[in-house]
Amino acid sequence: MTLPDDAYTQLADMHICRVLNGLWQLSGAHGQINPAAAIPQMHDYHKAGFTTWDLADHYGPAEDFVGKFSVQLSDEQKKSHLAFTKWVPRPGAMTRRVVESAIDVSRRRMNAETLDMLQFHWWDYGDPRFLDAMAQMATLRDEGKIRHLALTNFDTPNTRRIVNSGVAVVSNQVQFSLIDRRPEVAMIPYCETSGIKLLTYGTLAGGLLTDRYLGQPEPRQLNTASLRKYKNMVDAWGGWALFQELLRVLRTVADKHGVSVANVAVRYILQKPAVAGVIVGARLGISENMAENAKVFSFALDDADMAAIHAVTDKSRDLYALIGDTGDEYRR
């Protein structure tokens, strides 16, 4: 499998795949993953052109898997391999020692002298020490331990606070889908003026925005953390009947382009301003959707497609008014 040129984009000086392999499924909330099956499949993803990984310090063994995988790559393969981890600290003093110690743990686990990109999450905006943490990370970046700094689940005002403090960030990772379009309200306009890109997750609503749920009764038992999380989002957005109406429209659009409902859902977000990439979960050693994911780059949504989709989404509730800006669901 060879992905087309437009399957890649520049994020700062990094040539990333626009469909990133997400490793949240290793966090323990989606069942056990067998390393003996997972690592070989990581090689399959890379060979297929899906060369960019999203993970975090708290996603179970994700950093360890990436570390084991990366040392098995040839020198030529390493040139295209990128792994973006996250740091999600507990509240406390953000001294040089605290910050550097955490970064060094990720570097050791990932077998990386320099982290490609570190995405930072902070739980409480009322505690301004996140600015101290960013300043320390900027120093470590300048010393070569981190290549680029980024954010995850930051809202627009506090992203602006960080940028205004003098710390450059290249991206913010946010929830963004046909169900949750809150980034369009404030985050995307700010990103367009500040040169920040978005990496998005939840774009398939944990698997709900797929053909599997088209025409299905409202589920009462969901077996993964992702499905439970995004079913709650569907409920807040407008409920199962409206969601089925959306899936029917997506199926019509998908039929027009010869692709899947999931492809349409991902393509919709990829065509949004400031979006560099969409994170799609990889169930390593259990299942894989590389061939289907590649179809995202085989078509583009036109004005008629967008109008049909918006005829449904315009009926939904305003999640920005209901929940708040990007990431506010984690701080309510």
Question: What integer pLDDT is reported at residue 229 of this predicted model?
Answer: 93
Does pLDDT of 31 surpass 60? no
pTM: 0.95
Which pLDDT does position 295 carry in this prediction?
97
Strands (E), 139-274: 146-152, 171-175, 197-201
The single residue listed with the structure tokens 């792994």 is: 83
Across the range 8-27, mean pLDDT stands at: 93
With a cut of 80, say whether residue 193 has pLDDT above it. Answer: yes
User: Residue 83 in 3-state DSSP?
Assistant: strand
pLDDT for position 288 = 72
Mean pLDDT of 246-263: 98
**Distance between CA atoms of 306 and 269, rounded to whole angstroms?**
11
Stretch 76-84: mean pLDDT, rounded? 97
Average pLDDT of span 78-105: 97
Mean pLDDT of 188-214: 97
From residue 80, alpha-carbon distances to 30, 76, 233, 265, 288 in Å are 28, 8, 35, 26, 21
Distant-in-sequence, close-in-space partners of 153: CB < 8 Å, separation ≥ 6: 121, 172, 173, 174, 175, 326, 327, 330
Query: What's the pLDDT at 222?
Result: 87
Count the neighbouring beta carbons within 10 Å of the beta carbon of residue 205. 25
- Give the pLDDT mean for 10-35: 83
Q: Is the pLDDT of residue 201 over 90?
A: yes
Query: Taking residues 191-210, what's their average pLDDT?
Result: 97
Average pLDDT score over residue span 264-289: 89
pLDDT at 233 over 60: yes
Q: What's the average model confidence in pLDDT over 214-233?
A: 91
